[in-house]
Structure 1
Amino acid sequence: MKKLNKYILVLLAMVVVIPACKDEDLVVLPDWESGVNAYTVVAEGSKGDFLSGNAAQDITFDMLWNSIDGENTVTKIEIFAYFSEAYTDPDGNPAVANYGGVDGVSFLTIEGAAVPANKVTTSFSISQDDMYEMFKDSSFDYDKDGNATPVWGNPDKPNRRASSANFKFVPGDSFSIRWELTTADGRLFDSWSPSVCTEFPGSNCSYAWSIVCAPTIVNPQGDYVLTLADSYGDGWNGATLVVYIDGAPTVYTVSAAQGAGATYTVSVPAGTTTLTFEYTKGDWDSEASFTIKSPSGNVIAAWGPSPPIGAVKLDLCNE
């Protein structure tokens, strides 16, 4: 019964009133019945983030598009990039400067014979150098005094150096891409409903990543605190957070009885060599969120709602 209201809302949204007698020639299919969407993930074997101090580590993506009716064909794919940096505002508060505007900066266009067939994967890579070339002329008014400072020239970020091959980007920087699809009938698909972006299997609308200081935890022993939350208050509906200690999994979740959340302490014994975390999908990921706090007290992961599925990306810059 706790999910009943949700399903009623979904069903009401889908109701179409059809008269008993109708002219079939006047029946128009909704756009979603003949539309297209896409799915982009990190390719197998590729790192999912940029590594601080190592610009040679790029990211390779696998992308495919889906035709809802099986007939509509994509003739062009355009990919746009965004860059954000964390900074401290004049009042001492954490803030984020975003670059790329609403539309993003054009990174890649795939068209003509290069566009794959329906549900066929194509791959592309993006590097720190690619991002720098797109955003190297960016500036921002960090002090809110009406004067913009070049991002690569900000005295408060001395570690960010345009002259350095490996330190053009620094911890606190994050990135994302989105895509637009043009179909053979001339339609442009540049946005989708939140349900398609976060709940529809095999579909997403963007991909985000960041600069990480280290790919894995060194000397992982100690107590880690997992704080799992559910915004609807009825548990995680099948979603789980899996902790792997030297490859051995332990599964954590929020049960229906636990309702809005649960907190667990994971004790990692001395001598452990690998510690990783993985989020697995449930029925209502848009309600799920979690944080992971390390033995040193740092929050090394904070994801949700709709946490990314798969290996959990950790912020180890302060470890």
Structure 2
Amino acid sequence: IEYGPSGFSPGTGTTVMVTGTSFTIEGLDENTMYDVYIQADCGGGDLSALIGPYEFMTGFINPPTVCTYTLLLEDSFGDGWNGASLDVTINGITTNYTFFTGNQASFSFDVLDGLPLVLEYFSGVFENEVTYTLFNSDGNPIFSDGPFPQTGVVYDELAVCPDCPAPSASSITATFIGVDSAVIDWDPLPSAEQYQLEWAPAGFPLGFGLTSIVDGPPASLSGLNPCVNYDVYVYAICGEDSLSAPAGPLTFQTQPESVGDPCTYTIEMFDSFGDGWNNANITVTINGVSTVYTFTTGFEATFNLNVFANLPMIFTYNPGVFENEVSFNIIDPDGNVIYSDGPFPQTGQILSIVACPTCSGPLSFDVTDVNATSASFVWSAATDPGSYTLEYGPLGFTLGTGTVLNPTGTSATITGLSEGSYYDVYLSFLCDDGEKAKTLGPITIHTIWLNDVGVSGLISPTLADCNLGSEETISIQLENFGQNPQSLVPFFYAVNGVPAN
């Protein structure tokens, strides 16, 4: 019997003479591929041909943690990958993945914590259609490519299996959504002792939201503000100092503070050729719920949009082909054309209004400047007579608990803020007849630091210059990122990682 590492040349391995038909090889390395050859010795120097190799892999003395990664393959045309494929090598064992029809295919496989995971991409035809994404065991994307993916070895990293797995992001739901509350649910995990929820208005930076610790799903959120989009993340707590990665966000919108009488808006769509809109459409979002409107044949189509007064409406145009044929009108309940475009309509969000407002407040609200201790805002003038209220507070605060300003014009500056802090700012308008317009916001701001200086660039030498001599001069650019003027700025540097001052 001759054995050695996988691929060894016979005659260079370890040889053992045995007399029976079985033998146990000892002293092998764990998690290692070996080849074994067998040859009969008939005596007198008469040897049989080599039989083999027989290949095997040894196990682990202390097996690593196993978790499941997912590979999502996508094709924009819907006819599979047309000869393209991915080799996935886990701990030296390679599996090829592809698909032959449809828009996508998903494959799950087990990886070993701390051991290599290698992806190698092989191209096919129609590379413009091909994309793929690798997701870790928490369901978070960790690598993606395409269209026109890079070929060859594209990913070579150690797999990571978390000590505390995160909840499934796809299982997070929001129900019983009210004006100021919602119930959040998700699939529980056997490894979780408790869960942490983090939430704030949509787009907030992780680590700065409001948090609560709960024993399990479901969990209630309270103190929310009306008609605001919120993001919520769920973490698993598996023990002391054992917190999972965040799962989410789930985005939902709270209900409006008041809903008025119903009214009807109209969309008139036209196609000059008479074959419909050729994949173009208008998406109308009413209070966070979106509906797509289009038509596929003929010269024109009309859609009536029934909506309650005081709800926000957003119109978005999505182009198709033959944009030269497309035009449309958006008509309010009084029969007035409030928006018209085409041919070649503007794409993206085209109109944002409050439906049939009983109190016509500002339609726009923007931040113009943010410093360490102050921030300035501007808004459009209301068409009805009334008064403005600016309310601000820490990220995620509940309206009615913040600090209030009552500006008389269409701009205001908030002072007395803390440096390096997040704030939410809302603008409300009260008509003189007592009706309240839709509250705008929040605008989330992050104040800068009073003193904040850093290196922002390398002036000389260029990055292409190497092997600098002792007389060379290195020039850098310093920049003041803070509010206060700076002078005589101390700085430090290192040469080849060794501090020089």
Does the TM-score normalized on the shorter chain lie above 0.5?
no
Q: Which has the higher contact order (CA 8 A, sep 6+)?
A: 1
- Larger Rg belongs to: 2
Bigger proportion of residues as strand? 2
Bigger proportion of residues as helix? 1
When the two structures are superposed, what TM-score results if normalisation uses the length of structure 1?
Answer: 0.27
When the two structures are superposed, what TM-score results if normalisation uses the length of structure 2?
Answer: 0.20
